[in-house]
């Protein structure tokens, strides 16, 4: 096997095994706190909001770290260990404060994964092959999520919700082995931060913050992402809580079914982006992904049948699948040549992290005041607003070079 082929397979394996680790416990945390600790929905939403707020505070520093460090593999390993530790310790602690602290630690550690994988991929392939590599990354990521969810559902049914924590530990160990097998010299660290080969000798004088604050297209895209995640982040946890009320013994397996259903659909969505985003452009695919979300929110209100809820969750595979694969591509388009790809990726992740962090609290309050259907409709309305903003204000980043030139001017000629 050639070194390049071996490194490509190692990156595939990293995306597969890190899939379960990078998102933490997600909806399984809501099930555990509701079914085992007997928490109310508002307290569950509060813990998830704390974790989300910590994540958004660390996303931009994490991107800046990945831009600067040449020890990207070591950063991934440390992050995987911390996320796993924050989850495995949960069965041994009680109370809002301790649970919130552990989940905050895990969220901070997990903030390095997205920019690290994007940087490693860009550093290995270069800008021209980045679209196809990103589609492949997302394909293996979703396959890993689907596999982990199937295992989690089966283990939880046999051994209880606590089994999910130990499954995550096993996936973390596998992800550490995968990143360790990736050759350090396979990564061009200048290309990995978004510098063009011909421009590597040029000095970069300002931080990604200024590039973000002066770049209208990046700000618009960040606002669209924030609204998308404000609408999307709480939907699956709400479905999990609803399933817990219908049949507590089947809540975790059915939640796993929801995740598997979505992840299976995300695989062809990611492959579509990798194969066609350079031909069709980014915006048509983004619009398709954003349009699914308000429809999904409304459909959740039509029935409480578990199989209906699982079927509707499959639509998440279209929306989130397209968005997840397109997000780093759009950021790369807008920052190419600036040397600030990862810090800008982190900054925009911070922006949509604000939406994700507030999503659970918003949904929890609406559920307590007006019920689950009102919460789903509220989230659907937010999703419709995100779609409208994307449609009217966001330019096509692939075929319009102006945003890229503007970004480079901001970085090299600060005011």
CATH number where 223 lies: 1.20.1250.20
**Is residue 249 scored above 50 in pLDDT?**
yes
Rounded distance, CA 111 to CA 55, Å?
Answer: 6
**DSSP string covering 268-292, please?**
HHHHHHHHHHHHH-SHHHHHHHHHH
CA 211 vs CA 4, 305, 335: distances in Å: 33, 48, 8
pLDDT at 113: 92
**Is residue 304 scored above 90 in pLDDT?**
no
For residue 69, count other CB atoms closer than 10 A to its CB.
Answer: 16
**Is residue 350 scored above 60 in pLDDT?**
yes
CA 266 vs CA 269, 314, 405: distances in Å: 5, 9, 33
Q: Which residue has the higher pLDDT, 49 or 378?
A: 378
Structure tokens at 162: 């606590």
Span 170-186, pLDDT tens digits: 888 899 999 999 998 89
Rounded distance, CA 264 to CA 143, Å?
Answer: 7
Span 208-220, pLDDT tens digits: 456 566 788 889 9
For residue 58, count other CB atoms closer than 10 A to its CB.
Answer: 22
For 404, residues 6+ apart whose C-beta sits below 8 A from its C-beta are 333, 334, 335, 336, 337, 397
For 271, residues 6+ apart whose C-beta sits below 8 A from its C-beta are 135, 139
Structure tokens at 369: 């005041």
Closest CA to 27 of 147, 158, 145, 172: 145
Q: Provide the domain count of the chain.
A: 1
Q: Is there a contact between 58 and 110 (Cβ–Cβ < 8 Å)?
A: no
**DSSP string covering 197-223, please?**
GGGTTS---S-HHHHHHT-HHHHHHHH
Rounded distance, CA 156 to CA 145, Å?
Answer: 16
Structure tokens at 361: 């609290």
**pTM for the full model?**
0.79
| Most confident segment among 84-98, 363-377, 399-413 | 363-377
% of residues, the chain, pLDDT over 90: 35
Q: What share of the chain is helix, strand, coil (3-state, %, to 5)?
A: 80, 0, 20
Res. 322 pLDDT band, cuts 50 70 90 = very high
Place of tokens 């069709």: 280
Backbone angles phi, psi at 187, to 5 degrees: -100, 120
Number of H helices, E strands in the chain: 19, 0
Average pLDDT, the chain: 83
Radius of gyration over alpha carbons of the chain, in Å?
20
Lowest mean pLDDT among 108-122, 130-144, 235-249, 379-393: 235-249
Range of the domain at 214: 3-412
Closest CA to 351 of 192, 220, 234: 220
Q: Any long-range contacts for 1-7 (C-beta under 8 Å, 24+ apart)? A: 3/183, 3/186, 4/186, 6/181, 6/183, 7/124, 7/182, 7/183, 7/186
Res. 240 pLDDT band, cuts 50 70 90 = confident
For 415, residues 6+ apart whose C-beta sits below 8 A from its C-beta are 214
**Is residue 203 scored above 80 in pLDDT?**
no
């Amino acid at each position: 096997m050639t070194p390049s082929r071996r490194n490509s397979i190692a990156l595939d394996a990293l995306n597969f095994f890190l899939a379960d680790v990078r998102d933490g416990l997600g909806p399984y945390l809501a099930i555990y706190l509701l079914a085992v600790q007997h928490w109310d929905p508002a307290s569950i939403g509060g813990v998830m909001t704390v974790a989300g707020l910590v994540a958004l505070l660390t996303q931009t520093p994490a991107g800046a770290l990945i831009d600067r460090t040449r020890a990207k593999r070591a950063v991934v390993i440390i992050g995987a260990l911390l996320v796993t530790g924050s989850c495995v310790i949960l069965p041994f602690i009680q109370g809002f404060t301790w649970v919130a602290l552990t989940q905050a630690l895990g969220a901070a550690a997990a903030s390095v994964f997205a920019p690290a994988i994007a940087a490693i991929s860009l550093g290995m392939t270069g800008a021209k092959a980045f679209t196809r590599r990103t589609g492949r990354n997302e394909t293996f990521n979703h396959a890993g999520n689907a596999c982990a969810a199937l295992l989690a559902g089966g283990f939880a049914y046999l051994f209880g919700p606590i089994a999910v924590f130990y499954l995550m530990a096993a996936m973390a160990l596998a992800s550490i082995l995968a990143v360790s097998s990736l050759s350090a010299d396979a990564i061009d660290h200048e290309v990995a931060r978004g510098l063009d080969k011909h421009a590597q000798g040029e000095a970069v004088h300002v931080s990604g913050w200024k590039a973000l604050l002066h770049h209208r297209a990046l700000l618009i895209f960040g606002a669209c992402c924030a609204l998308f995640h404000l609408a999307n982040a709480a939907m699956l946890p709400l479905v999990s809580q609803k399933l817990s009320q219908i049949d507590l013994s089947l809540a975790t397996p059915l939640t796993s079914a929801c995740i598997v259903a979505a992840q299976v659909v995300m695989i062809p969505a990611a492959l579509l982006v990798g194969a066609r985003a350079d031909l069709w452009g980014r915006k048509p695919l983004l619009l398709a992904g954003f349009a699914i979300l308000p429809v999904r929110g409304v459909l959740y209100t039509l029935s409480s049948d578990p199989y209906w809820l699982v079927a509707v969750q499959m639509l998440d595979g279209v929306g989130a699948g397209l968005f997840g694969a397109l997000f780093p591509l759009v950021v790369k388009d807008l920052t190419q040549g600036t040397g600030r790809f990862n810090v800008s990726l982190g900054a925009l992740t911070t922006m949509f992290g604000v939406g994700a962090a507030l999503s659970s609290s918003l949904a929890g309050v609406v559920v307590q005041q007006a019920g689950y259907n009102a919460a789903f409709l509220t989230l659907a309305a937010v999703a419709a607003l995100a779609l409208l903003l994307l449609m009217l204000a966001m330019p096509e980043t692939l075929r319009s070079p102006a945003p890229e030139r503007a970004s480079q001017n901001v970085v090299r000629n600060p005011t």
